[in-house]
Each structure stands twice: as C-alpha cells, then as structure tokens.
Amino acid sequence: MSIISYLHFVLTTRVAELRRDGERGDSPVPTAVIIFGLVFVATIVTGLALGKANDWMNAIPNHTDPK
C-alpha cells in the first residue's frame, strides 16, 4: 500500500467519523461572549483595586510619589 493510498484511507475514515458524530458541542459564540464578559469584569475589578490602592497610598502622611 503506497503512502498516498494510506493517507487517503485515513482521511476518508476520519471525515466519515466526524460526519457521524452528531454532538459537536456548543457554538463558539456563547464561549466568546462569556470570555468577553470575564475580561470586562476583570478589568473593572483591577481598576477598582488600583484606585483603592492609590487612595490608600495618598492617605499616608508625608507620602511622596516615587516617579
């Protein structure tokens, strides 16, 4: 059996398996929406934490900005 025949057989067998499998999972759109939501929430939480930390540091007497 030549390599071309073997590859053809493997490819056609795999394509047939993929067509036969009806349950392929959820579409990528809800997953992308969830990821966007998580990134959005993480950005908000990080911004709030940074703001609180800056307020706390500015409340220290004789504080000088290290910049």
The domains of the chain are located at: 28-67
Terminal-to-terminal C-alpha distance of the chain: 71
Give residue-wise pLDDT tens across range 30-42. 889 999 999 999 9
| Alpha-carbon dihedral 21, 26, 32, 37, rounded to 10 degrees | -160
In whole angstroms, give the CA distance from residue 49 to residue 52: 5
Give residue-wise pLDDT tens across range 17-31. 877 766 667 778 888
Supply the pLDDT for residue 24.
65
Is the pLDDT assigned to residue 1 strictly greater than 70?
Answer: no
CA contacts within 13 A on the Cβ side of 56 = 6
State what percent of residues in the chain have pLDDT above 90: 33
